[in-house]
Amino acid sequence: MPSKVRNAPDPAQAAATAMARHRHDPLELLQMLRDVEEACGWIPPEAIDCIEARLALPRAKILGVASFYSFLHLKRAGRYRILFSDNITDRMLGSLGLLDRMCRGLWVERGKVSEDGLVSVDTTSCTGLCDQGPAILVNGLAVTRLTERRVDDICELVRDEVPPGEWPADFFRVEDNIHRRDALLGTPWLPGRALEAALARSPEDLVAEMKASKLRGRGGAGFPAGLKWQACREAPGKARYLVANADEGEPGNFKDRVLLANAADAIFEGMALGAWATGARRGFLYLRGEYRFLLDHLEAVLERRRAARLLGESILGREGFDFDVAIHVGAGAYVCGEESALIESLEGKRGTPRNRPPYPVTQGYLGQPTAVNNVETFAASCLVALKGGAWYAGIGTPESTGTKLVCVSGDCEQPGIYEYPFGVEVRQVLADCGARLTQAVQVSGPSGATVPAAEFGRRLAFEDLPTAGALMVFNERRDMFEVARNFVHFFAHESCGFCTPCRVGTSLLRNMMDKLANGHGSPYDFAEIGKLNLLLQSMSHCGLGHSACNPVLGTIAKFRGAYQRRLAHEEFEPAFDLDRALAAARQMTGRDDAAAHVRPETEETA
């Protein structure tokens, strides 16, 4: 007899435990809410009562924070919460068919909790397992390589109420899939070596080496890391902070996951280097909620480093060099990858990007100078400390030094991580990963660039194709309109809602793309889509809105035919479709015969 899911704990007790664990510090509100969600499966009002009373926070603020993050539930959720990663690469591997199969197997409607409160099945933004999808999250834990067989097994486990902790370990196996190693992944890490090298000289020297290395931010924006550290060091403030951005939300990216799993020591060592360079005494690693399964491993690495005096007080015996790192776990919000939104989230608030300037490097966490770097940037800084800025600057191209972890997914034989010196041609990556008959690649995710076959001679480098790492491959059979539509849905789902153009514009754009997909498009709609994208680009508050137009503008420019095919009408016609609107009525009555349709010739769309 399998053991049942344990009874949900008392909400008040869960809230008390969560608050005590986080020292009753209101800055830790999001972490407390996460703990309550993990303990109870949702955030019951009684738990909010306790937090409101004990922390003296306005209830509306607590609700405002909790309702911002996708993985927090203010209404009772299923005891099993299953989320299908909905990146285009998951779809190409058949995720939607598997989702339907699971819904049928569990007698549950997508997006709703089953009537017995057992389970809910829905979609979520890319979970960063594109090289081993289709992937799902079960109560926050990643399950990879879904097949029909695995879906059926999961349905049975859920029906029998077997706790996820007792499911076959193979379901949760996450592979690294490293297929090419270069300077970063090819260097064996001896914890402390880079720090020893840095401590042999002054913080100013380290900043100078970093500047000489010309190491640029690996999150995609490419700001020189040495300049950022110097600015943080020189900015006036009461305290300085370092943040490692591991909120890897850009669909198609998964190199942070692999680095966190494989080279956590290098990341934390890079943070300590940053602390030496800037004078920061506290650091945070902001781990995206989807990578919750890495938390125990990361905490263990931190503990080991503290024991080895590589973190904590008097690091490596150096009096006055104190620095420690705390891990903050996100809760499902892509926008928190934007550095000022990330800092808001670190402060326990809604992840709304701040007005900039001031930039975080002068006024970041708690208004103090804060250097936010991607985890790959921190790891790379160890190479600079060990081997010198000039050595590092000799790798890659003059404007894009060093190496880059490229995350390959989609239509190829060997998806996974490929580390190349900057400047590698797209063609080379495609050859190495075994891609055939490739129509296009999407570089750096939805906010990046769509590159057609004619441009495969272009190079991955800040001066040509800047990238956070993702490289999604689409072969000749793929419909690039559907690729763009998937990305548009992603941005509409992830818009924070702060500014008008992005909040409303991304949803309008989603509806217009759906209108084309539903066969109601005309040249008028095509023109409207173009205009709306330009408005998003010029008027939005942050990078999310600015780049939300990229997939559509990019595919229109390179794959106009994919849109033209969708313009079924010469003249404008409304998006409203009476037959489609009656789908709910058909479902309620269990009918799908000809007489239940307004236009019998219309195909039913799911």
Partner 1 sequence: MNATFTLDGRPVAFSEGQTILQAAVAAGAYIPHLCFHPDFKPHGSCKVCTVKVGGRHAASCTTRATAGAVVESDTPELNAERRALVQMLFVEGNHFCPSCEKSGDCKLQATAYDLGMSTPHFDHFYPDRPVDASHPDMLLDFNRCILCSLCVRASRDVDGKNVFALAGRGIRTRLIANSRTGRLVDTSFSHQDKAAHVCPVGVILHKRRGFETPFGSRVFDRKPISARADSTAEIAAVEADGS
Positions touching partner 1 (CB under 8 A) are 45, 49, 58-61, 63-64, 67-70, 333, 350, 355, 357, 492-501, 503-508, 511, 531, 535, 538-541, 575
E strand or H helix that includes residue 287: strand 282-287
DSSP 372: E
Q: Which is nearer to partner 1, 3 or 511 (CB)?
A: 511
DSSP code per residue over 37-100: HHHHSS--HHHHHHHHHHHT--HHHHHHHHTTSTT--SSPPPSEEEEEE--HHHHHTTHHHHHH
CA 524 to chain centre: 34
Least distance from C-beta 233 to partner 1, angstroms? 24
Q: How far is the CB of 235 from partner 1 (least distance, A)?
A: 18
Least distance in angstroms from the C-beta of 357 to partner 1: 8
For partner 1, which is the closer residue by CB, 30 or 430?
30
Q: Which is nearer to partner 1, 285 or 529 (CB)?
A: 529
Which residue, 438 or 506, is less far from partner 1 as judged by CB? Answer: 506
Residue 368 tokens, joined:
């103090």
Two structure tokens written together for 293: 């399964």
Nearer to partner 1, 49 or 161 (CB): 49
**Considering the complex, what minimum distance in angstroms separates the CB of residue 504 from partner 1?**
4
DSSP string, 509-566: HHHHHHHHHTT---HHHHHHHHHHHHHHHHH-SSHHHHHTTHHHHHHHHH-HHHHHTT
Contact 402, 183 (CB under 8 A): yes
Residue 511 C-beta: closest distance to partner 1, Å: 6
Q: Smaller CB distance to partner 1: residue 261 or 508?
A: 508
Q: How many CB atoms lie within 10 A of CB 599?
A: 10
Q: Is 492 helix (H, G, I), strand (E, B) or coil?
A: helix
Tokens found for residue 380: 């790379």
| Shortest distance, position 59 Cβ to partner 1, whole Å | 5
Pick 261 or 504: Cβ nearer partner 1: 504
Taking the C-alpha atoms of residue 349 and residue 64, their distance in angstroms, rounded to an integer, is: 8
CB of 501 to partner 1, least distance (A): 6
Nearer to partner 1, 401 or 506 (CB): 506
Shortest distance (Å) from residue 384 CB to partner 1: 34
Strand (E) or helix (H) holding 452: strand 449-452
Q: What's the CA gap between 227 and 150, in Å, rounded?
A: 49
Query: CB 564 → partner 1: shortest distance, Å?
Result: 22
Decide if 433 contacts 413 (C-beta within 8 A).
yes
Backbone torsion region of residue 519, taken as left when φ is above 0, otherwise alpha when ψ lies between -120 and 50, otherwise beta: left
Q: 132 or 345, CB closer to partner 1? A: 345
